[in-house]
Amino acid sequence: MGHLWTPWRSTYLKDKRDRTACIFCLAAASTGDEESLIVHRARLNFIILNRYPYTSGHLMIAPYQHVSRLQQVDDETSAEMMRLVRRSEQLLEQTYQPQGINLGMNLGEAAGAGIEQHIHMHVLPRWFGDANFMTSVGSTRIIPEELSVTWARLSHAFQDE
């Protein structure tokens, strides 16, 4: 699935050079969820929008714990993560009516992890033709919805549950 996450990679790498701390830990520690793009905080994990989304509604579920491997979190954390994956699936379907959803976790840089030191599960809505479209326009990504709009829609959806 590595190719799925590559369109934003060149942009991401430019940003990465300016960062010294883990963006997941920074976001979790921040008090401004809208600014840090956190749409939901659970007890052991939080849900954050991808700042370089592949499609609208592309979110990531990460534990508060700074770990690089799934085997390093306890059963309770991984069980909550899976519950949040299921809730995300449901809310993304209600909010965006996608034709499919990708779930994925890249462990280690060789597997395509952009931020390899802190695990995160990608959940992203898919539509027929979105990948073909990406190929046809090369490195230019068309994001049909502003991140602030996605944040408002999804943070409210999680709140309303």
Q: Is residue 7 classed exposed, middle or buried when 0-12, 13-18 and 19+ CB atoms within 10 A define those classes?
A: buried
Residues 36-95 that bind Zn ion (CB under 5 A): 66
Q: Whole-angstrom Cα distance, residue 113 to residue 70? A: 13
Check if the beta carbon of residue 78 is closer than 8 Å to that of residue 69. no
Q: Whole-angstrom Cα distance, residue 51 to residue 39? A: 12
Catalytic residue among 66, 120, 122, 156: 120
Instruction: Specify the stretch interacting with Zn ion by CB under 5 A; choose among 4-12, 15-23, 67-75, 133-141.
Output: 15-23
CB-nearer residue toward Zn ion: 22 or 70: 22
Binding pattern for the stretch 20-39 against Zn ion, x by CB under 5 A and - elsewhere: --x-xx--------------
Least distance between Zn ion and beta carbon 116 (Å): 11
Q: 156 catalytic, yes or no?
A: no
Q: Whole-angstrom Cα distance, residue 30 to residue 24? A: 10
In the block, tokens 């600014």 appear at: 35
Least distance between Zn ion and beta carbon 157 (Å): 25
Q: What residue ranges bind Zn ion (CB under 5 A)? A: 22, 24-25, 66, 118
Show which residues are catalytic: 120
